[in-house]
Chain A
């Protein structure tokens, strides 16, 4: 869907209908991105909601310089940053950095995984340093272009490509290592 028409229309647009369409089209992307940044479902939900509320109020300022998806993810990223900065969050949420050893606890999540390999891959990705993780997922999961990622993250395209390269190398190395549960041998 091309949202270029928005910049032509200013107030002649049904914001509520547009909001519905944006949520249906991009809700999952925004939520997933917020989850990957925060690693908390409840927080991802809050951030996703805040993102669409902000987008609703700022929709007439969308000028089509980036795709709608990238624009929404930029809002989500900034909203996440605000959460990380809030006083209570700093006090309480740090617990998740400390006490979660694996993003997906096998007992709770096992029914969602198609394969053990999928869980391994996601755990490997989500344990990457934040900058590498975020860049890789924007590229591979959200399918943004290098240029869009560069704008969203406020870095150069070269940095984006470098981070993707390093992230891929780190995960490929990690997955290439023997897995303990199989006694040191991979099939």
Chain B
């Protein structure tokens, strides 16, 4: 059959009413409007003006020097011109997030980005990452935490201790647990700085605890402690609506809840060899507790109906029982604070709240896993490690963290703890005060890079929510459900290992 006979069918994507719609357009405009609200107007205008001018000139000329004409904060410098190549997804995003700001104080700088290979994109393993690094000209790498020790041992990364001293980077200014974590990953030496950190913390509604006569969760609480407290809310209500002891997120996703709880308790879906352990005794306990809570109603699943809400931010608020004062506890990363803050500004969450780590029994008061973290490291092949270190210093500077807080951000925890009075209205201080169980975090990171991990995760993501629904409806037992999932996970793991060896 000739292509001219069938290509006519590709004129239209046959999805009927699916696709871009007036509703999509409305949501885009609302998101732009809200993102403009978050920042201090004057600073936002100043930054936007600088970025616009820099972007316009650099885009046309490719020459950063022409972009540097008088602008706020431009520094005199005796630096020579230099170029840094940074591992990143695309240049536009890099320049908008980091590049232009850096160039204000370093007008002789120019940047390129090095985009990881398709092979690494697909495989996400150490071998393909190493291969890409060896072929790339990146000065600065964004290394998965799990790869740091191997890359360091193979001499792919520059040890930073001397550069840190020369650059006078104050390690005391950084989030202490992140420094411990990167040292642990590098067997005692620092091979990078961790930025954009995030982790789940337990957020609780003090007012609901008080009004229901339940004692508050204490630092060091484990999931078993939280279950005991949450169960005390069985049958609780407030102005005719049910109040839950624990809820999670803005849309029913019991598997994600179970998974995040498990991670907080130091559990992984695979063991150290990559074999699935979906039906371990510890996972079974969590599955039993969550399904019991859903059945009895002290864990929220029938969340407020947000299906009619077209705006994604409003839908996220409307669907979240905690943000509407109808749940005593929830688990969330700092990234979710923006949505919670909107709920508070809108007067939907008026109650007092606070936050503590949700700890594993083996490490009371500490956090066992991250939801995000980026290690910035220097390629041993870099011809300009000094300038690369200056850039990393900029990432890890208090000035950057302070500016982020002043302008309504950051989205996640930056490397340095901000000085700015964080106030009682934001939980960011609590996140920075929390301590990581670095061995557990590193173990989780390593296991998530094992060949079978993603395949096992795929199976659970596809099948686990249905399994939970069956459990709640009494159509199976926990043992039966987990035995089925374990069997499917084992099949999937075999495929994962075979693919990795190809």
A105 adjacent to chain B (CB < 8 Å): no
Q: Mark A3-36, 1 if CB is under 8 A from B, else 0.
A: 0000100110000100110011001101110011
In the assembled complex, A145 has its CB within 8 A of some CB on chain B: no
- Size class of the contact patch on chain B: 35 or more
Q: Which of A133-176 contact B (CB under 8 A)?
A: 136-137, 140-141, 168, 171-172, 175-176
Set of chain B residues within 8 Å of A31, measured between Cβ atoms: 19-20, 24
CB of B15 within 8 A of CB of A112, answer yes
Contacts of A104 in B (CB 8 A): 14
Q: Are A27 and B25 in contact (CB under 8 A)?
A: yes
In the assembled complex, the Cα of A81 lies from the Cα of B115 at a distance in Å of: 10
Specify which chain B residues have a CB less than 8 angstroms from the CB of A98 in the assembled complex. Answer: 455, 458-459, 462, 492
Tally chain A residues at the interface, Cβ within 8 Å: 66
* Chain A residue nearest to B60 in the complex (CB): A63
A contact residues around B15 at 8 Å (CB): 35, 41, 109, 112
**A23 neighbours in B (Cβ, 8 Å):** 20, 24-25, 28
Decide if B25 touches A140 in the complex (CB within 8 Å). Answer: no
B13: min CB distance to chain A, Å: 5
The answer to whether the Cβ of A95 comes within 8 Å of any Cβ in the partner chain is: yes
Shortest C-beta distance, B111 to chain A (Å), equals 15
Contact yes or no, A53 B31, CB < 8 A: yes
A49-B31, A92-B461 given; A112·B59 CB < 8 A: no
Selected contact of B10 from candidates A24, A61, A90, A141, CB within 8 Å:
A141
Instruction: Name the CB-closest residue of A to B457.
Output: A91
- In contact, B14 and A48 (Cβ under 8 angstroms): no
- Are B9 and A48 in contact, with the CB atoms below 8 A? no
- Which B-chain residue is minimally distant from A82 (CB atoms)? B89
Q: A10-B56, A78-B92 are in contact. Are A122 and B19 (CB under 8 A)?
A: no
Q: Is B165 an interface residue (CB 8 A)?
A: no
Would you give the shortest CB distance from B24 to chain A, in whole angstroms? Answer: 6
Q: What's the Cα separation between A112 and B3 when bound, in Å?
A: 22
How many Å lie between the Cα of A16 and that of B90 in the bound state? 25
Which residues of chain A are near B59, meaning CB under 8 Å?
A: 61, 63
**Chain B contacts to A: CB under 8 angstroms:** 1-3, 6-7, 9-11, 13-16, 18-20, 24-25, 27-29, 31-32, 35, 52, 55-56, 59-60, 89-90, 92-93, 96, 115, 121, 124, 371-372, 448, 454-455, 457-459, 461-462, 492
Pairs across A and B, CB under 8 Å, 19 listed: A7-B56, A19-B32, A20-B25, A31-B24, A32-B13, A48-B24, A49-B28, A53-B32, A54-B93, A60-B55, A61-B56, A61-B92, A75-B92, A95-B461, A98-B492, A99-B462, A112-B15, A118-B14, A122-B10
For the complex with contacts A91-B458, A109-B14, 16 further pairs of A-B residues with Cβ separation under 8 Å are: A11-B52, A19-B29, A35-B15, A48-B24, A53-B31, A58-B55, A61-B59, A78-B93, A87-B371, A92-B461, A95-B461, A99-B458, A118-B9, A168-B7, A172-B3, A176-B1
